[in-house]
Structures are given as structure tokens and as C-alpha cells.
Structure 1
Amino acid sequence: MAAGFACKQFVISHEHCAMKVNTDSFILGSWSEAPMRGRALDIGCGSGILSLMLRQRMGQSSQVLALDIDEGAVRQTRQNVAASPWPDDITVFNADVRHHDIAGLFDVIVCNPPYFANGQVGSRTHLQQSQTRQQARQQDSLSADELFGITANLISEQGTLQCLYPTAQAAHIIEQASQHGWCLQRQLTVIPKPDKPSHVTAFGFSRQPVSTPELASLLIRKADNQYSQAYRALCQPFYLAF
């Protein structure tokens, strides 16, 4: 898996990307709402996996715009898109969403954003990572406040924003989103194993308030280390082993 990851309808090469294909990507891409037709925006596209997962689920006449500030990631995404069944439906830009003039509104926006706030870079291992990988993981490059503020001006009236943050930040993320008019619609707490605490949570926001947000949890592996049935069902449209 060093050079790539084969999905059912496309292959993701990721050797030139700071952030490799991982479980979080599969969960967010599989769980995110995807209208059958419309426009999608992938902020911080990395290898392009979320763009391709969205395009597979959205169907014909859909268009995806993918952005990343890292030139290597953009080249990788373009290669993966060109080799996919939808080379004409995904447009990739080397751009910073904070400064790039994006025309039109989107029906769905996805972002697997930087994980760590400044001063929370984590372990010694993380400190030894490459500069591009640290940039991809730290909120210095795109804070939650910036993400919610920018996307509020890019979403259609009925559109949704799907993102993923550490579970420890969940309450703060929901509060930050609400300050920009985003309403929590869905929330998925991801649990790696029964004896492990949740590490990340996926969020689905809309501009329309809902009376009761949908709150759920997802166990990735059972106690015997086998994938759970829920995880298999969620990722089945993409994961070759399922």
C-alpha cells in the first residue's frame, strides 16, 4: 500500500502526498451526504480520494472541484483523476481556499481538515514528520473558524458541509460552526476498538436547522480485531475486501 490503494472503481496512488489514504478518509467519504447531481467541493484534496468517492456516489452530470495548497498533492490528484472513470468531471487546482476566488455555489462540501491546533502537534513522532505532512495536519494552515466562515459563502441553500475532527474537539467544533450559521445535522463518533476511546468524529452541517441531530457511533474493529459489520456496510461500495 506504499504506492497506492485499489478501490472497487478507481485506484488511489498517494506516494507524493503528505497524508496517505487511511481509515478516516474512507469513513468520511463513505458517510458524507452526496446528492445524485450537483457540484461538490473538496477542500484540501490530498490524493483526491474524497473527490473520487463523491463523484462515484453522485452519478452522471456531477462536477467536483478539488483544491490543495501542496503542489505534490495536486499532481497526485490529477494523476488519480485522469486514471479514473471520471477524468472530465473533477477539476483540480493548486490553490488556498482562503485566497482563491471560487465561482458559484456547491451542493456538498467535504474537508478532512488539519487535525491539530497550534501548540497541540502531539507526539515526538509527529514532530519528526515532514514539513508538508505537518502542514497537512496542523490547523495553522486552515483553522476551523476559517473553514466554517469560508464555506458559509460557498454552499447552496440546501447544501451540506461534511468534515472530520478529533473527538476531543467536538463541542468546540460545533460551537465554531454555529457562529457562522452552520447547524449540526449529523454526527458520527468513530471508535477504533471496544477498549479504545474515540479518536475522531465526523460532522455533517447544513444551513437549515434540524429539530434533533442524528447522533451515531461507528466501531471499526471488534474485540477479535476483525472489521465490524457496521464498518463493512459503510465502506462496502469502495473497499475491495468488502
Structure 2
Amino acid sequence: MFEFKKFSINQENCAMKICTDACIFGGYINVSQSKSILDIGTGTGLLSLMIAQRTEKTLQKPNITAVEIEKDAFLTAKQNFENSIYTDRLTIFNQSIQDFSENHFSTFDHIISNPPFFLHQSKTKNNSKNLALHSEALSFDDLLKSIDKLLSKNGKCDILLPAFEMDIFIKKAKKYSLFPQKKLIIYTRKEKEIFRVIIRFEKKNTQNKEIIENNFIIYKSKGEKDIELNRGYTEQFIELLRDFYIIF
């Protein structure tokens, strides 16, 4: 059981456990104007619960819909939702996003996803983990087709991927008239290679404009003062996740 300040995550039966980049994603994305949110591939339900907490004091609390194809992850997320104080705003479906998009006729003004990203690596013997990690279960094209159908005209879509896969995703997204608006580049430490990238996509053509770009660093570099305080996390990280992590 992973304890946050206002909710708990049971992840025992989920192939993909809670990870730092997902927590950053949930704390970072701007959902202040969102009335309906779709979480594609929810896994443990972490992102949906983080967003529910972040919007608990807003005048119009958004309804959050989660979709998860893997049965054990679906059951786990459903339990996590039901055990939270946000259960009345959370709905989950045990479907592929392809099937969901075919049968869901309303649109969302915000879509979020940390999609499978292993494009070529060999699979494991764990079928649940393969579904969570390998893009054969959900190709970027299939994901984009679903986003194109489910995103409202003025909607926003946030995607979390490694840098190489994000470059591929950006190129494919143009075919669906989805263009980057804002980029967050995540580093484990400032001297390291890029760890993950978060990009906000909208149906606004920015091909000839510079998108807003910011850097985010998780850990202080070795040798920096007080590195042992707060387990060596940067102030940037602490401030982002102060409302969630018990250690802060």
C-alpha cells in the first residue's frame, strides 16, 4: 500500500507500480479549466486520484473517467477509487481505449495519458506488464485516433513519454491536427540525460511558433549542500508534490 496525504494506492496486483514520473505528471498538468477529464490507461488510478484531490476545492469539480484494459489493474484502480473520498467523481471502464472510443459519444475537454512506450524491446513473460509497457497493445496511431474522436474542439491533451518516443508521437500527432503547446523536460539530476517529457497538445497549429518549454529536476546533484535533507529532492520537486507526499 502506497500512502499519500489524502488517499492510498493499493498496487499489489498491478504490473506497473507507482513511479516518480507519474507523480510529477499528476502534480504538474493544468486542470484548472477542465470540467470533464479522461485518463487513458489509468493503471492503479494514481493520476485520476491526484487530479481529484487537486480539484476538490474548485467551484465546479470535474468528473473524471478512467479507462484500463488490464483486468487486475482495473479491479485495483476501482477499489482505490471506491476507498477514496473522491469516489463520487470517479468512473472507470475495463476496456481498451479503442473500444471505449467507438462506444462513447460525448467528448472530454481534457485527456491525459502515460501510454505504453516500448516500441521494439522484447516482451516479458508477464502478460499484464506487456499490456502496460508495450505499444503493440496500444499503438500511438490507435491512441491518437481515440484522442481525435474523444477530445472536444477546444480541449487539451497531456502526454508523458521518454524523449525518443515523444519525438515519434509529436510527428504522428500532426496527422490528427494535434500540436504541442507546452513542454516540460524532466531530468533526474541536472547533469543527467533527459528522463521524461510531458507535452500539452491542442488543436491549435503551432508549427511556426516556439512552444513554451521548462525544465524540471528531481534530485539535487551530488555535492550540493543539504543533499540528505528531504532525501535529496530539489525544492522544485518538493513544492510540486508537497500536497501529496507524506515525507514533505
* TM norm. shorter chain > 0.5: yes
For residue 85 of structure 1, what is the aligned residue in structure 2?
85
Q: 1:229 aligns with which of 221, 228, 235?
A: 235
The within-5 A match list for 1:64-143 is: 64-100=64-100, 101-117=103-119, 119-121=120-122, 127-128=123-124, 130-143=126-139
**RMSD over aligned Cα atoms:** 1.7
What amino acid is aligned across from residue 24 of structure 2 in structure 1? I
Any idea what SS the aligned residue of 2:99 has? coil
Counterpart-to-counterpart distance in 2, 1:174 and 1:187: 11
Identity, in percent, stands at 29
Task: Decide which structure has the larger Cα Rg and report it.
Answer: 2
Q: TM-score, normalised by structure 2?
A: 0.88
Counterpart-to-counterpart distance in 1, 2:28 and 2:177: 22
Counterpart-to-counterpart distance in 2, 1:194 and 1:78: 37
Counterpart-to-counterpart distance in 2, 1:154 and 1:165: 20
More moved, 32-41 vs 76-85: 32-41
What amino acid is aligned across from residue 239 of structure 2 in structure 1? A
Counterpart-to-counterpart distance in 1, 2:124 and 2:121: 14
Counterpart-to-counterpart distance in 2, 1:140 and 1:42: 19
For residue 218 of structure 1, what is the aligned residue in structure 2?
216
For residue 170 of structure 1, what is the aligned residue in structure 2?
166
Q: Give a deviation string over 1:7-66, Cα, whole Å, max 9, x none.
A: 121111111111111101101111112135511101111000011111222335421111
Any idea what SS the aligned residue of 1:161 has? strand
Any idea what SS the aligned residue of 1:199 has? strand
2:54 matches 1:53: no
The 4+ residue runs of structure 1 with deviation greater than 4 A are none
1:235 positional shift: 1.8
- Contact 1:36/1:58 (CA < 8 Å) preserved in 2? no
1:120 positional shift: 2.5
1:103 positional shift: 2.8
1:129 positional shift: 5.7
What amino acid is aligned across from residue 68 of structure 1 in structure 2? E
Q: TM-score, normalised by structure 1?
A: 0.90
Any idea what SS the aligned residue of 1:204 has? strand
Q: 1:240 aligns with which of 222, 243, 246?
A: 246
1:113 positional shift: 0.5
Change (3 A) 1:104 1:58: farther
